[in-house]
Structure 1
Amino acid sequence: MSRRIQITRRNFGLGAIALGVSACGSSGPGTVRSTIPSGLPADLRPVPNVTYDAWVASFRERAATKGISQSTLASAFRDTGYLPGVVTRDRNQTEFKRSLEDYLAIAASEERVQKGRAAFARHRGTLMALEDRYGVDAYIIAAIWGLESFYGERRGEVPVISATSTLAFDGRRGQFFEQQLIAALRIVQNGDTPASRMTGSWAGAMGHTQFIPTSYLQFAVDYTGDGRRDIWSDDPSDALASAAAYLQRNGWQRGVRWGSETSNGSLQPQPGGPRFATTRNFSVIKRYNNSDAYAIGVGHLSDRIRGGGPLRTAFPPDANGLTKADRVRLQKRLTARGFDTQGADGVIGRDTEAAIRAYQESRGLPVTGTPSQGLLQSL
């Protein structure tokens, strides 16, 4: 297996990057009505698009044949529109590779661990009750919450009807997103939430635990008993219960851990790094996001929230000969010199590469943006 592992993410989830959006009416060609607060990314504000308007008109006829009422269609599309930024993000997706070490540095960062412990303490009663009802480890539920929306802080603000209708109209994955749009309209019609409140990621994942609309219809739970399966509320109870129900119905075994770090396990995603022994529940976590790294991230974060420590086995130096400690020192030294890396987590991303390039240019060095031992020493 190569040094770098492929992280295949759903187009929904981790990090559910909270993006905002304005709204645009689709009542006629070129009609624009803004009803959602400003201060949001320009490319996620609806723009006039007569071809999209025509598609919506034809879609309404198809939706009506699937049992979506005219009143639901009228209310759901009242303040919607074509979002160019959604199409851009969908088309610019690339499968990316990141080492497990880098992935865990983000997924189980100290900030995420500390926030997770605080969130667990606040919602201990609910989480333990969910474990009792569904048999799913309460700390696993908390970890999924942490990875999917940073414990509710990043639920996403893009109107789901606009996002899914834009992507269905665009056509690259038209059938899939038309299914999501129909499901979103059923959620509105069922009375779980009005369309104006149904927000999420740019690709339609919603709420604390980032359910896509079809998963919501199949697994969402009204835990609070108020008659609505409200995964968008500031109260995360329904969302956490829905995640627990999802795992239970996908085969979670009560009382069985996800796995653990071990000295002789067969799962070693990064050569030279930690090994893991996993259980059937590891595969169940992958039903939420089909990635070994994601499942390890959830499992390890759950252990850290429970009170466990970092992984015992150190990861080897990266392809540039730098350990995580070296990369952290590099980031701190660049920032101290005025070349801000936007944090020192040991993960070399765009901000760090930009800082390296700026530093190299200021010193008359070849501008590569690549970290190295020599660069570290020069700092």
Structure 2
Amino acid sequence: MTRTRIAGRMAAALIAVTMATFPAAAASLKSCVEGLRRDAERAGIPDSITGRALANVAYDEKAVRFSRTQPEYKTEIWDYMAFLVDLERIQDGRAQMKRHRTTLAQVQKRIGVDQYIVAALWGVETDYGRKKGDFFIPHALANVICLSGRRADYFKGELIAALKIVADGDIRLKDLNGSWAGAFGQTQFMPSTYRRLAVDFDGDGHKDLVNSSADALASAANYLKKAGWNNRLPWGFEVRLPKGYDGPSGRRKRATLESWARRGITHINGARLKGDYSAGLLLPAGRNGPAFLVTSNFDALYSYNVAESYALAIGHLSDRLRGHGPLEARWPTDDPGLSRAQRLDLQRRLMVNGYNIGQPDGLIGPLTQDAIRKAEIRHGMEPTGRPGTKIYRALGGTK
């Protein structure tokens, strides 16, 4: 499963080419795609599907670039949380939970995964089904397989799995739109995960995670249940460390709550820890930032995207949807991150000041990063390219 990432700067020496400039590369792609068609047909996929799916595959610089490049700067945890758990996503989530309250209640009852967690995952993955990705997956994967040179066998398996989903009649070929790596649907399943864990929850005979919110929500819950989710446990909670704490930390270093209490750790509100289960101490920004005790349920969230920041965002968003307040402890920075609305406003302010950022969309790509650097230099700041509060305020933004 692939998730939202901040796009890195183009690796020009590697991929800033066009197929027209190098006819041999175009011929290589064409030959490779023909091979993929044969592989798909040998896997039992009808030619009527394979032919349409892989017709007119053209070079997709963006898909190849995304598969090869790394983020230009490390996404700080306070940046990550600021745009994933912002007021807009919280308000939208509460509205969506009200709209789908019957479905979510049934998912919780029948599958056994907390409905607030399911809704939060939905919100983090696709903004409640509104942003599912705009790559046509067969073409994007063909580019990655044939031109990226990374994990070709893995992505070939995902391409064939995607086409099998269409052959099974669960979704239409035109609905195979998602990320460059193949994740699609309202809860962004990779095709192989889709075939293994998708659920027909609305009872229409199709496992449709693109057009059916019920199927998507139930499938996400099914994934978490198979990953070990236990509805009797919380995902975790914020805690307060004693001054000068130098004990163990790490989500895998679990101990009983009583053991953590003996080390001087309390709930963030000062209450003594109570509960008959074990947890690990998560310090996403070190000992000077917010601290959390996280249970095995946190590991289930982690497995969805293999990132602690991702699991933390879902856990915290679920708490906010439930009505809890923001984190009590502050992140250890004097330059906090921006919400999505503020990122969009920052881009507009950069444009007004003459910087080229392309079309404002709230996404921080290479053009925006470069513009931020130039603006930072102009205002006597260290050029980081990071969308933080300091450069936002320097350009007239308010927080």
Whether TM-score is above 0.5 comes out as: yes
Is the 1:229–1:238 contact (alpha carbons within 8 Å) kept by the matching residues of 2? yes
User: Which letter maps to 1:163?
Assistant: A
- How many Å apart are 1:92 and its aligned residue? 1.9
Matches within 5 A, 1:334-373: 335=349, 339=353, 351=368, 354-355=371-372, 357-358=374-375, 360-361=377-378, 368=383
Matching residue within 317, 321, 324 for 2:336: 324
Q: 1:253 to 1:93 in 2, by over 3 A?
A: same
Q: Tell me the equivalent position of 1:35.
A: none
Once the two structures are superposed, residues 138-175 of structure 1 have per-residue CA deviations (whole angstroms, 9 ceiling, x without a partner) of 01111111111111111112111111122111232211
Unaligned ranges ≥5, structure 1: 1-9, 18-42
Is the 2:141–2:159 contact (alpha carbons within 8 Å) kept by the matching residues of 1? yes
Matches within 5 A, 1:147-158: 147-158=124-135
User: Which letter maps to 1:273?
Assistant: G
Matches within 5 A, 1:153-168: 153-168=130-145
Superposed CA RMSD: 3.7
Is the 1:261–1:311 contact (alpha carbons within 8 Å) kept by the matching residues of 2? yes
Distance across 1 between alignment mates of 2:181 and 2:48: 25
Is the 2:338–2:389 contact (alpha carbons within 8 Å) kept by the matching residues of 1? no
- How many Å apart are 1:198 and its aligned residue? 1.2
Q: Judge which range, 74-83 or 120-129, deviates more.
A: 74-83
Distance across 1 between alignment mates of 2:189 and 2:55: 24
Once the two structures are superposed, residues 308-357 of structure 1 have per-residue CA deviations (whole angstroms, 9 ceiling, x without a partner) of 1100112223xxxx2539999xx98x9599549999x9x9x974873563
Is the 1:139–1:305 contact (alpha carbons within 8 Å) kept by the matching residues of 2? yes
Matches within 5 A, 1:299-314: 299-314=315-330
Number of equivalenced pairs:
330
Distance across 1 between alignment mates of 2:354 and 2:87: 20
Q: Tell me the equivalent position of 1:206.
A: 184
Distance across 1 between alignment mates of 2:91 and 2:108: 21
- How many Å apart are 1:60 and its aligned residue? 2.2
Q: 1:350 to 1:109 in 2, by over 3 A?
A: farther
Distance across 1 between alignment mates of 2:81 and 2:131: 19
Is the 1:205–1:213 contact (alpha carbons within 8 Å) kept by the matching residues of 2? yes
Is the 1:16–1:201 contact (alpha carbons within 8 Å) kept by the matching residues of 2? no
Q: Tell me the equivalent position of 1:29.
A: none
Q: Tell me the equivalent position of 1:260.
A: 237
Residues 1:105 and 2:117 are matched in the alignment: no
Distance across 1 between alignment mates of 2:71 and 2:146: 21
TM-score by length of 2: 0.72
TM-score by length of 1: 0.76
Residues 1:69 and 2:46 are matched in the alignment: yes
Q: 1:308 to 1:163 in 2, by over 3 A?
A: same
Q: 1:16 to 1:65 in 2, by over 3 A?
A: farther
Residues 1:275 and 2:291 are matched in the alignment: yes
Matches within 5 A, 1:5-24: 12-14=2-4
Matching residue within 167, 192, 203 for 1:189: 167
Residues 1:296 and 2:317 are matched in the alignment: no
- How many Å apart are 1:358 and its aligned residue? 3.4
Unaligned ranges ≥5, structure 2: 8-17, 241-264, 266-279
- How many Å apart are 1:65 and its aligned residue? 2.4
